[in-house]
Each structure stands twice: as structure tokens, then as C-alpha cells.
Copies of this chain bind each other. A is one copy, B any other.
């Protein structure tokens, strides 16, 4: 059932029907009433493709994330979709699997669909390249994870929304040192730039503090799925504290350690990263560096909406870490915002 059907059935022209439905141009009350009733009766639903073509706007926002099943990305998606919808946009969310090919595919889908703005979460694609190649102005990057961020002269471009990894790690290490732990290890997953950045920072902070050098450990990106796989990289003598790349990894570590009879935080302290909901439910509850995940998603969407109308991207924002102290470290439970 198309607009033409509605118009015919209401005995008016298509133009009039269109105006009546959109409430747009000048139209008489009765006519509008009539058309709307007919449309409702016929269960008329406007065709978005046709409308987009005509008005040359899609009112669509795209989000490229790694994986729906990753809690970090799920939270970001939630925030993104919520403000997109509130602003009258439809969010279309596509997983890129954290791989170049996948993200390029995703990007292509979004461009074909005419997304007016695109957000890339933890993307391995450099937003600068994308913006150039796709000549897309409204592009924001959430927690970029491409090679570039490791460069010494890296400066986040406009539209970047990131969590302050460096100060987060710094604060976590200082917190651990303050608790008296001197031998700290770091467990990373995979070898993504963001992971490397955290490791490097931990190494440096520990060195500057004159503590024992960081024990850097690495597991496969989804080692957490295999019981025991994460724990197996922790060899004796045990470090006193372990900082993990993310909460999922930390949770797996917590499980493996305790399954092996190691007490947490008795024998060893564990700190996670991200602040996913499940980090609060483990036993012991996980101390973690929380990122404002939902807020980052919301911010990405609102930034895009702004950029679409103004044509300009705001300066990069660096969100502070929040150290949430729970039971997996010795400290008293507390929350330290802007850590």
C-alpha cells in the first residue's frame, strides 16, 4: 500500500496526501483528518527508501563495533541507539569483528545505506583515513584501536571520544603500590594497540616508581573462553598483583586462580578494566577502572547529530577513569571518580 493508494482512496491528489500525512505544508483541517484516517485504515507505512531518495536525507546514524556479545560494546551501543532514536535518527549497528576486512565491509554497508554520521568503536581503521577516503565529515571514533595511537606524536583528531588509558593505568598502579604491592604483572589479550598502550604505561609507571619491573603476560584474544587458559600463564613465583587488559579477562583470571586454590585478594590482587556490569557480581567483586561506556555511546550519537547540522566536529574528548575499588584488591571498597 503506497501513498498513491491512500490518495486515491481518499479522493485527493498524491501531493495533498503527502502534506496531510506529514503535517507539513498548508492543508485544511478536514482534508488532513480524512487522509490520516484513510491511511490508518489502509495501514499505510511510508517507504523509507523512497523518502530518503526524495529528501536526500536518510536520518540514519551508523555504529561500527567489534562484537555484540562484548559487554563494552553492548553498553556503547545502548547509549548510541538511545540518543539516536531520541534525536529522530535510526541507528544501524554493524559488527566489524575487530578486523580490517570486517570493518571495511561494515563501513561500506553504512555508506550504501546513506548513514549521515558514523561512529566507529574500538576500530582498527584510522578515522583520518576513513574521513579522507569516504569524504565523510560526520565521523566519530570511540576508543580508537588502530596503530596510530601508539605513535609518539599521536594527537587524537576532532570527533575522538576516548577513555584516558594512560592516567587510568597510572592511577591503578599507584593504587596498587599504595596498598603495598611491589610485584605487579599485566595480562593482555591479543596484541591490539590499545592493549600495548596499557602495558607500556604500566611498565613506565612501575619503573618511575622504582618498583619491580612489570611482568608482562599475554594470552589469546579469547582465551577467557577456555577454562584455565588465562590462569595458566601465571607462573610461580606469583606476582602480588595483576592488572588485566579488560574485565572479561580479569573475571576469567579470578576464576582460574581460585580454581587452582589461589586466594584473591589474599594471595594476589586483581584489577580489571572497563567496569562492565558483571565485574560487580563476581566473588570477590572485581576492582576495576570503569569507563563511562553508555555515556560514550550517547556522546558519540549526540556529537554526530551536532556535526550533521553544523558540519563541524568538536575537539577530542578524553574521559577520566573511575577507579572502583571492590573486593579483589585489599583496599577498602570505594569509588574514586576522576582517578
Q: A: which residues have CB within 8 A of B? A: 43, 45-50, 52-53, 58, 67-71, 74-75, 77-78, 81, 85, 90, 92-95, 105, 108-109, 111-114, 133-135, 224-225, 227, 248, 251-252, 254-255, 258-259, 277-278, 280-283, 285
List 14 other contacts, CB 8 Å, given A68-B74, A90-B113: A45-B112, A48-B113, A49-B49, A50-B53, A68-B77, A69-B77, A90-B92, A90-B94, A92-B92, A227-B280, A251-B281, A252-B281, A255-B280, A259-B283
Contact A67/B78 with A50-B53, A53-B50, A283-B254 known, Cβ cut-off 8 Å:
yes
A67 proximity list for chain B (CB < 8 A): 78
Are A81 and B69 touching (Cβ within 8 A)? no
A321 vs B1: C-alpha distance in the bound complex, in angstroms?
43
A67 vs B71: C-alpha distance in the bound complex, in angstroms?
12
A192 vs B105: C-alpha distance in the bound complex, in angstroms?
38
Determine which of B48, B69, B281 lies in contact with A282 in the assembled complex, contact meaning CB atoms within 8 Å. Answer: B281
Shortest distance in angstroms between A234's beta carbon and chain B's nearest beta carbon? 16
A53 proximity list for chain B (CB < 8 A): 47, 49-50, 53
Determine which of B85, B135, B224 lies in contact with A281 in the assembled complex, contact meaning CB atoms within 8 Å. Answer: B224
A90 proximity list for chain B (CB < 8 A): 92, 94, 109, 113
A283 proximity list for chain B (CB < 8 A): 254-255, 258-259, 282-283
A167 vs B154: C-alpha distance in the bound complex, in angstroms?
57
A70 vs B252: C-alpha distance in the bound complex, in angstroms?
19
Nearest B residue to A279, CB-CB:
B278
Shortest distance in angstroms between A65's beta carbon and chain B's nearest beta carbon? 9
A112 proximity list for chain B (CB < 8 A): 45-48
Contact A282/B280 with A47-B112, A48-B112, A134-B43 known, Cβ cut-off 8 Å:
no
A71 vs B281: C-alpha distance in the bound complex, in angstroms?
14
Are B45 and A49 touching (Cβ within 8 A)? no
A105 vs B47: C-alpha distance in the bound complex, in angstroms?
15
A94 proximity list for chain B (CB < 8 A): 81, 90
A90 vs B113: C-alpha distance in the bound complex, in angstroms?
10
Shortest distance in angstroms between A192's beta carbon and chain B's nearest beta carbon? 20
A227 vs B114: C-alpha distance in the bound complex, in angstroms?
44
Shortest distance in angstroms between A115's beta carbon and chain B's nearest beta carbon? 10
A84 vs B324: C-alpha distance in the bound complex, in angstroms?
39
A75 proximity list for chain B (CB < 8 A): 68-69
Are A78 and B95 touching (Cβ within 8 A)? yes
Chain B CB within 10 Å, residue with most, of A46, A75, A77: A77
Nearest B residue to A90, CB-CB:
B109
Provide a sorted-by-A list of 19 A–B residue pairs whose CB atoms are within 8 angstroms: A43-B133, A45-B108, A47-B53, A47-B112, A47-B114, A48-B112, A49-B50, A68-B93, A69-B78, A78-B95, A81-B94, A85-B105, A93-B93, A227-B280, A227-B285, A252-B281, A255-B285, A278-B281, A282-B282
